[in-house]
Every structure is written in C-alpha cells, then in structure tokens.
Structure 1
C-alpha cells in the first residue's frame, strides 16, 4: 500500500514537472518569437533610414547604449547582464537563481542593442530570458525547486528552438553547453518544452531565416572543408580573445557615460565605413549569397576588412554595455570566412568549389569553435539550410574547428572566468 501511494505521488510530481515544462516552452516561444519579429522589423527600418542619411549612424548606437544604461540603472536594479554566465551560475551554484526581472531586462536590452546598430544578436538575450522563465516556473510551486535545472534547461532549449526552428539544436545546446544531466525526467522536461515551443512557432511565427540553394557537395572539396575547419578554429579564438580583451578594457573605465560614448563612437565609425557590420548581420549574409566568384573578387578587400573588424565591433558592443553574445556574430563571420575561402580557391586554383556550401560550412565551423559545441552547430546550420545535404562536411569542419580552437585556447567567453 505504501509503495503504491509513493508511486502515485511520484507520478503526480512527474506530471507536474512536465506540465511546468510545457508551460515554460510556450512562454519561451512567445518571448523568442516576438523578440525576433520586432527586432527584425525595427532593425530593417533603422538600417533603411541610415542609407537615406548616412550620418544618422553616429546617433543610433549612442541612443541604443544610452537607453540601455538608463533602463539598467533606474529600472533593472543597476545590475549588469552577464549573459550565458548567469545561466551557468544558476545551474552550477545551488544558492544562485535567475530573478524574474531578467526576463524583461534581457528582452528589451537585446532588442535595443541590435535595432540601434549594436553588432551582436538577440540569441543570447533570448536564451537568458527563456532560462529565466524556467527558473521562475520552478519557484511557483515549492516541490518544483528541486527541478530548477530541468526547467531552466527546458526554457533555454525552447528559446533556441523558436529562434531557429531547430528543435534538435535546441536540445543539444542544453546538453552540450549547460549540463550533462542524463536523468529521464530531465530529458523528458527538455523535450516537452521544445515540442511546445516548436509547435507554437511552426504554426504562428514560422519564417525561414535564410534561403540557401544547396544541391550537394563535391568529394574533391573534402580537404578544403578540413582546411576551412582549421581556419575557423583559429578565427574563433580571435573572436573569443577579442571579446575578453574589450570586456576587460571597458570594465576598467570607471565612468559609465564615458564607456557608452566611447563604445558608441567606435561602433558608429566602423559601421559608417562598413554598413554590413550593422546589427546582427543576417541581411549581410543574404547579400553574400548573391555574389558570384567574379563579383566577390572585386570586393575581396571589403570582405576581408569586415571579417577582421566584426569581432572588434561585437566586442566593443558587449564591453560598452550592449546585450548579446557571440552566437549571431559567429554565424555572420563564418559565412564571410567560407565565401572568402571559396572565392580564393576558385580564382587562384580553379577548383570550382561551390561558394554557398563553404558559407554554410563556415557558419557551422566558426560557431562550433566559438562555443565549443559542435553538435549544436551542426544541427543548427542544417536547420538554417533546411536540409542535411551538407551534413558530412559540416560534421568534419565543426569537429576540426572545435579541436583546433580548444587546443589554442581551451575556454569560451562563457567559461573563461569560471575556470580562472
């Protein structure tokens, strides 16, 4: 009799956890999808206005960073957003949690950062906000507190699923980056949240981010995919070290207004000369798909400069108080890196490789090297491409990039301080 009562109570608790996970998935999808739609709309609007008046760029980043600073100081308890580290601390420290105000804080700060030109993306802002939804769910019922990690991971996985329409990538992101917990309930919670998020997004908010025409890949290009993975590994370390350097540099500036003005000036100046650095850069990736080998060679110097400057402007954006991370910049830079390599191989060595393939593989490889999560990168980019034709070369390049990046510098921007 006692065992039966215990089993009933256990089943009730499991059911309650899964209901909470489903609720977390729905709320996370609403947060991610509305933030994505709003950001895309206003980013395009301000970017268009900047084309009409190019000097407007010297006002937009200043407006964005200043507004974020004011909101942070007077509305969000004057606490800086630490991005993914906040989520890692919540999972790894029993006495730490994500307060409810982190949901609007990251939501609005991520939105303001990108639409006013901050060269990052809304992915990290979304992940922290949706992880906070999971943490909030775990506090609403006493016994759910012990399942906090499960619900936090459910929230962040649901957020990634909604942003990229990539449920497998959302699932793997939770396990690769945040926790290696393998309990059945934990897995069921994450899957439940992902399913709820995916269904809501698919039926009400679905929009393909990119349109890549992928027809297959050539076996003779395999060595060059490996080469792309090696270069991506080195480049990922450049991005990571750049972010760490500028965060330290701006962290040493005592006056917040100096930090905001200096950061806005650097961001504006770089965008003035290279407009594709504006915002998250997805429109720049779409423009790349229209380039032929000949036209790409004509603008090769510009492509190289964007590749060189993107980690700097991203790092300055984050150091000056912008909200975001390296997710979108990694995809952006990977596309540029892949196109540059394919163009050089075709122009100088007449190899006839397919540029769009190298762009997609480069996106995955740089993301893998930047966050040390090759499985997430593989399935995320396959979801972006909306097919798995490049699965084998993407796997190879991602694994190579991760190994190279980890060998050179065994930390990411998420874990560096945690392991010092």
Structure 2
C-alpha cells in the first residue's frame, strides 16, 4: 500500500468519524428540543384550558422574547430557515456560523411553546446543519467536505425527530444536494446511523399510534382526488407564507410587527384551538374521531384547513422560527379526513378514514416541500408500517406534480423578483 492510498484511507476515516460525531450531536439537539417542546407545549395548553383568554398574551410573550434574544445575543440577524442551509451548500457561502445552533434551538422552542402555529422541524434542521458546518471549520482538512457534513447534520436531525432514517437520507438528497460521490453518501449514512442509535436508545417515543390494517384498490380514484387537493392546499400554504412574510417585512417598526402578529395569532387560536403550536395534538384529536366520523365534524375541520396556513404564515412573518413541515402534516390529516367523510356520507363508499388521514399527511407535505420520497418514507415511519406504501406514493407524486404545475416554487426555493431599473 503506497503513501497516497494511506492518506486517502486516513482522509475517509477522518470524514466518517466527523460525520458520526455530527450524527450524535445532532440527535442530542433534535431529541432534547423535541422533548422540551412537547413538555412545555402541553403545560401551556393545560393553562389555556383553565383560562382561554390567556391566549391573548402568550404569543406576545414568545415573540417578544425571541426579539430580545435576537437583538442582544444573536447579532440582531433574522433567521432565514432552510434558505440559510441552501445558501451554504449551493452558493458555497459561510452562512451557518456556530451561533445558529443556539439561535434556532431557542427561537424554535419559544415559538412553538408560546403558541406559534408552526413546528420545530426547520429549527432542528438548521441547528443540526450548523453543527455539520462547525465541524468542517474546526478541522482544516475537513473544510472541503463542508457540504457532506452539513447534509450529514440535517439528515441526522430529521432522523431523530421522526425516527425515520430513510426519510432523513432522502430529505438531504431531494431538497439540498444531489451529489453522487460515495464519500458523500457514506458520510450522510454514518451520521444517520449514529443519530438513529442515540434516539432509539435514549429518546424513542412513538408520537402517533395508527392502526392501519388494509387498503382497498377501489379507493384508488379517490386517492388520486386527494393527491390533487393536497397539491392545491400545498400551494395555498406556500403562497400564504410568502405573502405574509412580505407583508410583515413592510413594517419597519419591530414592535408594531410583533404586537400585530401576536394579536392575530391569538385571535385565530382563541376561535380555533387546534391552531396552537405544532398541531400534533390536533392530529391526535383527528385520530380519536376517525372511528365515528360524521358531517358534524366538518366545520372545525374546514376551519383548521383554511386557517392553519394563515396562522403559520403570520407566525413566521411576525418573527417566529419554524417552517411548513408540521403545518403540512396537520393540514394533510384534516384534509384527508374531510375528503373521506364527505365521500362516505354522500356516496356511501365505505372508505377507511385512518388511511385517508395518513395519505393526506404525506401528500400535503410532498407538495409543500417538493420532496415526495421524503414524505412517503416519513409518513410510513410515523405509521410504523408500509401497508399504505402504494397509495401514499400515488398521492405524493400527484400532489407534487399539481403543486409544481400551479406554482413551481416551494418556500425554500422561491426567490422574490427584483425590479429592474430602466437605464436613462
């Protein structure tokens, strides 16, 4: 074995060791954030059950605290979410400094527990991607493997959050980079395995308990219909986020933006409590209704379907930290149940509600992030089985196609048009 081969082996070993460390650290960040968020979100929801009117101050406290932390601790720079990671990878820019780990961690936590209508997924992805970026800066010969370690970190974060290693792997490749080098792939896999081991050993808790037993082929036309509707709802969510971010950016006074945004969030949650936080409690509530679905459920279901995109968009526009992962899952769950209940009530089709709830979750997520295969394996991991694999694939591919045909951008990829000045 010559010296070149020895150096190559050492280089690969160093990158894989770094990826494993990134995977462990990413799991600790993602899992602790998940556990703390769930605890305090449940605590605040319990307080609100005793006094509903407290909702008119809780989001204001959260957004104000985020603003104070951002101003005094985090260089007074706004968090840009997934775009920060995309810029780091695609523009080869150093846009993920180490403080992004703590800023997204605490801002994501504060946003959700104080009622912000979004989830911790994007906060986790950026934090864990920043861990990968930090590792590439600390060791000089790892700098040229920054993309590999950034992708390793974010894939490990998604793996830990959903206990879904395949979804974590696909998310890195569908959304962020399509590099095909063996070292890149092995680095991401190494981080995922390390993250999965830590999560399974110390933090594993099944979020949802689904009882999926079968699906019927006669439901395929209605699954196609659900995929089309999911694509349209994905566009509605995307355009809502883009509109309200632009709207709130027009306010030059931060206090007006925070107070106005928090009051609007409070009002929405006051009338539709399922809009509070991540919305996973809302999904659990939906599953408690699937065995006795009826048309009396329609009004609250439709209210969530129409208002969740607005609540999420206002949260993000007013300064909250988060993204469209959790909102997409909630919207999809409600959409799936609505479609199933309406079809069963008016046409007596005998469709299985729990199946449509799960398929809807995957389909809306697929259309929102333009990553169908991530959505497929993530929801199959949440269901803890692959019985619905084929209908989920069909719905996700249709949803992504419809969403892309109507509006060819996700919230991650949209770039606002800059007006060109005419030369005179």
Relative to the length of structure 2, the TM-score reads 0.97
Q: Is contact 1:357–1:390 with CA below 8 Å preserved after alignment?
A: yes
Offset at residue 294 of structure 1 (A): 5.2
Using the size of structure 1 for normalisation, the TM-score is: 0.98
Note if contact 1:87-1:131 (Cα within 8 Å) is conserved in structure 2. yes
Question: Cα gap change, 1:26/1:293 in structure 2, threshold over 3 Å: closer, same or farther?
Answer: closer
Of the three residues 405, 413, 416, the one matched with 1:415 is 413
Report the Cα distance in structure 2 between the residues aligned to 1:136 and 1:210, rounded to whole angstroms.
34
Preserved contact between residue 293 and residue 347 of structure 1 (Cα < 8 Å): no
Per-residue CA distance 1:135-191 (angstroms, 9 max, x = gap)? 000011101000000000000000000000000000000000000001000000000
TM-fit CA distance, 1:418? 7.4
Which residue in 2 is equivalent to 1:47?
A: 45
1:244-323 alignment, distance < 5 Å: 244-292=242-290, 295-323=293-321
Residue in 1 that maps onto 2:108: 110
Q: How many residue pairs were aligned?
A: 418
- Which residue of 29, 34, 37 maps to 1:36? 34
Cα 1:210–1:137, aligned 2, differ >3 Å: closer, same or farther? same
Q: Distance in 2 between matches of 1:26 and 1:96?
A: 23
The alpha carbon displacement at 1:216 in A equals 1.0
Q: Which 4+ runs in 1 deviate beyond 3 A?
A: 292-296
Alignment correspondent of 2:120 = 122
Residue 307 to residue 192, structure 1, CA distance change in 2 (3 Å)? same
- TM alignment of 1:33-112, pairs within 5 A: 33-112=31-110
**Which of residues 386, 394, 397 is equivalent to 1:396?**
394
Shift, 1:313, TM fit:
0.3
CA contact 1:293–1:346 (8 Å) conserved in 2: no
Question: Deviation of residue 95 (structure 1)?
Answer: 3.1
* Whole-angstrom CA distance in 2 between matches of 1:264 and 1:248: 17
Q: Structure 1: how far apart are the matches of 2:216 and 2:416?
A: 42
Local SS of the residue matching 1:299: helix
How big is the shift at 1:299?
A: 2.3
Q: Report the CA distance shift for 1:418/1:383 in structure 2 as closer, same or farther (over 3 A).
A: farther
Query: In structure 2, how many angstroms separate the alpha carbons of the residues matched to 1:294 and 1:337?
Result: 16
CA distance in 2, matches of 1:96, 1:206: 34
Q: Is the 8 A contact 1:97 1:135 kept in 2?
A: no
Q: CA deviation at 1:209?
A: 1.0
User: CA-to-partner distance for each residue in 1:288-347, whole Å, 9 max, x for gaps?
Assistant: 111147554112111101100000000000000000000000000000000000000110
Gaps of 5+ in 1: none
**Structure 2 unmatched runs, 5+:** 419-424
Q: 1:175 aligns with which of 173, 198, 201?
A: 173
Query: Are the counterparts in 2 of residues 331 and 364 from structure 1 also a CA contact under 8 Å?
Result: yes
Q: 1:94 and 1:366 mapped to 2: Cα distance?
A: 31
**Pair 1:138 & 2:125 matched:** no
Preserved CA contact (<8 Å) 1:363 1:381: yes
Q: Give the Cα–Cα distance (whole angstroms) in 2 for the partners of residues 304 and 48 of structure 1.
A: 25
Q: Is the 8 A contact 2:290 2:354 kept in 1?
A: no
1:218 aligned residue = 216
